[in-house]
């Protein structure tokens, strides 16, 4: 499941204050207007409650970013003295119009952005009164806009998958496939955006703060490389999710609005278990690489990445390895080796950090012991839930009801699927097969190598202004559409008293509620 990224916000910026253009005099004003629209979109998004309305607003933010990027790319080329048709060293592309833009820089461009991944506050000199990070240069501006684009693309992927899986009505196979394919497309785009910020020499020092050797953790190349790997891990797991009927059946069984169980049991078709297992191992490798990269940022200094993000990447790696063990168990069960399959399920529990079932435990209990056993099981489940909450996020967020399906990297859902299969297979083994269950301790350490399903995407291609728009930029600027004084209230904090859920937006659900 995709990490729920908080989107940055930014302060007002007027490019006319810092630069002018003799060849395209309207360019600074047009860039300021597009940036103002992006700023308002980010501020409005932050103030929306976490609801379907907020997910729908993501497309507005994407549109504002795509409208703004060509203008700051043109300013960047003008400041470096390169024509728009020259080879871009970060992407190797040369699809521009070849037009030269002459720009005169009056003073260094300064902009402020909120760093949403920073663990501890940066130096006071580099922060504004609203807690944003103050940076200089056009590359700082472009880097934060691209980082925001990566967050938005991942958020769109997350909302689409979760809304389909946890819908009030059980989705069809076609609906689940369409949602997964759409989410995969957005995740690969997000990985491509973060890869550009990692590989381009232009952005190597973009996050360096004025008068300091410190780098904003959000823009650190190691952070961007880790986020690119994390998006690849999530895209790989989501590709497996498309054909993972076990997860769908587990969600359907808990859906209070589902009535299909009255007619027929959920269909569990045969899966390519060995292939899916190797894909999950590859996803685990990507996630562990991301966790190591995020954990290394600022390790020797005072600033770093928020621990919640690092814990999420680690949890995603554990979920991927547990899912690989589950598919190896499915393959063994399909081959008639149900004892080995149960051992793989118990290895999966170990990968998740869940308490494994005792080797000799039987599911059939006497009536005299049934009530006490159920009570013990409930206590154990509560302990595991508290452990999961401590693993993935702060206890305060859980208490406030801010954790939703997917916030734990799918750990809870995978645990439910494993429990469902283990209960079924143990009962079958006790009554029909009576096969010995081998030890599961060594299975997890002997997983095979992973296999890629997606080729790592190349760096994102920065957009260009088209020839018609460049022609309009040659005209003198019109009167400004907005003034800095029109944005008196510069706070982007969420207003108090707003409920987390919009009333009536989504039907009430029990355990499987998305919102």
Query: pLDDT of 357-385, one tens digit each?
Result: 544 443 333 333 455 665 665 666 556 55
Mean pLDDT confidence for 233-239 = 92
pLDDT at 377: 59
To the nearest whole number, what is the mean pLDDT of the chain? 78
Considering only residues 182 and 245, tell me which one the structure prediction assigns the higher pLDDT: 182
Check if the beta carbon of residue 24 is closer than 8 Å to that of residue 133. no
Angstrom distances, CA of residue 199 to CA of 154, 194, 195, 204, 221: 20, 9, 6, 8, 8
pLDDT at residue 273 is higher than 90: no
pLDDT at 515: 33
Choose among 194, 193, 196, 286: nearest CA to 240: 286
Check if the beta carbon of residue 19 is closer than 8 Å to that of residue 56. no
CATH class of 9-88+98-119+130-356+407-469: mainly alpha
pLDDT-above-70 percentage for the chain = 72
pLDDT, one tens digit per residue, over 141-190 is: 999 999 999 999 999 998 888 888 777 677 788 888 888 899 999 999 99
Mean pLDDT confidence for 222-246 = 90
> What is the C-alpha to C-alpha distance for residues 386 and 139, in angstroms, rounded to an integer?
43
pLDDT at residue 392 is higher than 70: no
Tokens (6 digits) for 283: 């996803």
| 78-82, 87-91, 322-326, 436-440: least confident range | 87-91
Tokens (6 digits) for 253: 């069984």
Question: Which band of pLDDT confidence, cut at 50, 70 and 90, is reported for residue 490?
Answer: low
pLDDT at 241: 86
Q: Which residues lie closer than 8 Å to 66 by C-beta, 6 or more apart?
A: 463
Check if the beta carbon of residue 422 is closer than 8 Å to that of residue 359. no
pLDDT at residue 509 is higher than 80: no
pLDDT at 279: 94
Query: Beta strands 19-21 and 103-105: pairing type?
Result: antiparallel
> CA dihedral defined by 471, 473, 476, 477, rounded to 10 degrees?
150
pLDDT, one tens digit per residue, over 5-31 is: 889 999 999 999 999 888 899 999 999
pLDDT at residue 271 is higher than 80: no
pLDDT at 494: 45
Q: Which residues lie closer than 8 Å to 100 by C-beta, 6 or more apart?
A: 23, 78, 83, 84
Three-class DSSP category at 77:
helix
> What is the C-alpha to C-alpha distance for residues 464 and 295, in angstroms, rounded to an integer?
35
Q: Which residues lie closer than 8 Å to 271 by C-beta, 6 or more apart?
A: 243, 244, 245, 327, 330
Check if the beta carbon of residue 99 is closer than 8 Å to that of residue 21. no
Of the CA atoms within 13 Å of residue 128, those in its CB half-sphere come to: 17
Choose among 438, 491, 458: nearest CA to 112: 491
Question: Which band of pLDDT confidence, cut at 50, 70 and 90, is reported for residue 497?
Answer: very low
> What is the C-alpha to C-alpha distance for residues 310 and 392, in angstroms, rounded to an integer?
9
Query: Beta strands 103-105 and 110-113: pairing type?
Result: unpaired
> What is the C-alpha to C-alpha distance for residues 417 and 268, in angstroms, rounded to an integer?
13
Considering only residues 388 and 106, tell me which one the structure prediction assigns the higher pLDDT: 106
> What is the C-alpha to C-alpha distance for residues 249 and 258, in angstroms, rounded to an integer?
11
Q: How does DSSP classify residue 218?
A: G
Considering only residues 300 and 464, tell me which one the structure prediction assigns the higher pLDDT: 464
Q: How does DSSP classify residue 299?
A: T
Question: Which band of pLDDT confidence, cut at 50, 70 and 90, is reported for residue 342?
Answer: very high
Three-class DSSP category at 474:
coil
Q: Which residues lie closer than 8 Å to 498 by C-beta, 6 or more apart?
A: 49
Choose among 326, 304, 156: nearest CA to 241: 326
Choose among 141, 165, 130, 146: nearest CA to 32: 141
Of the CA atoms within 13 Å of residue 253, those in its CB half-sphere come to: 14
Question: Which band of pLDDT confidence, cut at 50, 70 and 90, is reported for residue 503?
Answer: very low
Considering only residues 214 and 45, tell me which one the structure prediction assigns the higher pLDDT: 45
Question: Which band of pLDDT confidence, cut at 50, 70 and 90, is reported for residue 89?
Answer: very low
Q: How does DSSP classify residue 52?
A: H
pLDDT at residue 4 is higher than 90: no
The C-alpha angle with vertex 142 and arms to 56 and 26, in degrees rounded to 5, equals 95
Considering only residues 281 and 385, tell me which one the structure prediction assigns the higher pLDDT: 281
């Amino acid at each position: 499941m995709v990490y729920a990224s908080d989107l940055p916000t930014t302060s007002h910026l007027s490019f006319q204050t810092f630069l002018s253009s003799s060849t395209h005099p309207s360019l600074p004003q047009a860039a300021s207007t597009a940036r103002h629209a992006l700023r308002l979109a980010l501020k409005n998004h932050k103030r929306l409650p976490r609801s379907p309305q907020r997910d729908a607003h993501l497309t507005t933010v994407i549109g504002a970013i795509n409208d703004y990027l060509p203008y700051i790319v043109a300013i960047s080329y003008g400041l470096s003295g390169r024509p728009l048709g020259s080879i871009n060293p970060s992407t190797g592309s040369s699809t521009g119009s070849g037009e030269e833009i002459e720009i005169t820089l009056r003073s260094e461009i300064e902009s402020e952005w909120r760093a949403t991944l920073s663990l501890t506050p940066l130096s006071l000199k580099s922060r504004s009164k609203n807690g944003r990070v103050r940076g200089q240069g056009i590359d700082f501006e472009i880097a934060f806009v691209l980082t925001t684009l990566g967050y938005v693309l991942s958020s769109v992927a997350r909302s689409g998958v979760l809304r389909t899986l946890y819908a009030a009505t059980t989705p069809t196979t076609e609906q689940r496939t369409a949602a997964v394919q759409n989410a995969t497309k957005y995740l690969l785009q997000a990985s491509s955006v973060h890869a550009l910020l990692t590989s381009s020499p232009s952005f190597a020092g973009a996050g360096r703060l004025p008068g300091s050797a410190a780098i904003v953790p959000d823009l650190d190349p190691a952070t961007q490389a880790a986020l690119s790997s994390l998006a690849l891990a999530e895209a790989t797991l989501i590709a497996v999710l498309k054909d993972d009927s076990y997860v769908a059946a587990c969600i359907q069984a808990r859906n209070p609005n589902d009535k299909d169980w009255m007619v027929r049991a959920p269909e569990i078709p045969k899966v390519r278990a060995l292939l899916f297992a190797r894909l999950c191992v590859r996803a685990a490798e990507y996630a562990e690489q991301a966790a190591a990269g995020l954990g290394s940022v600022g390790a020797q200094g005072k600033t770093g990445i928020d621990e919640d993000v690092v814990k999420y990447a680690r949890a995603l790696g554990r979920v991927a390895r547990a899912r690989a063990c589950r598919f190896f168990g499915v393959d063994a069960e399909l081959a008639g080796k149900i004892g080995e399959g149960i051992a793989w399920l118990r290895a999966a529990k170990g990968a998740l950090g869940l308490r494994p079932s005792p080797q000799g435990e039987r599911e059939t209990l006497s009536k005299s012991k049934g009530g006490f056993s159920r009570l013990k099981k409930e206590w154990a489940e509560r302990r595991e839930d508290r452990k999961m909450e401590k693993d993935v996020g702060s206890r305060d967020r859980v208490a406030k009801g801010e954790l939703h399906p997917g916030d734990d990297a799918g750990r809870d859902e995978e645990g439910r699927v494993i429990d469902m299969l283990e209960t079924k297979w143990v009962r079958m083994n006790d009554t029909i097969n009576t096969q010995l269950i081998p030890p599961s301790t060594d299975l997890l350490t002997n997983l095979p190598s992973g296999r890629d399903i997606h080729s790592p995407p190349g760096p994102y291609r920065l957009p260009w202004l088209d020839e018609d728009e460049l022609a309009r930029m040659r005209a003198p600027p019109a009167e400004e559409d907005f003034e800095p004084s029109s944005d008196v209230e510069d706070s982007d904090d969420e207003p108090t008293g707003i409920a987390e859920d919009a009333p009536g937006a989504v039907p009430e659900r029990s355990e499987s509620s998305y919102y």
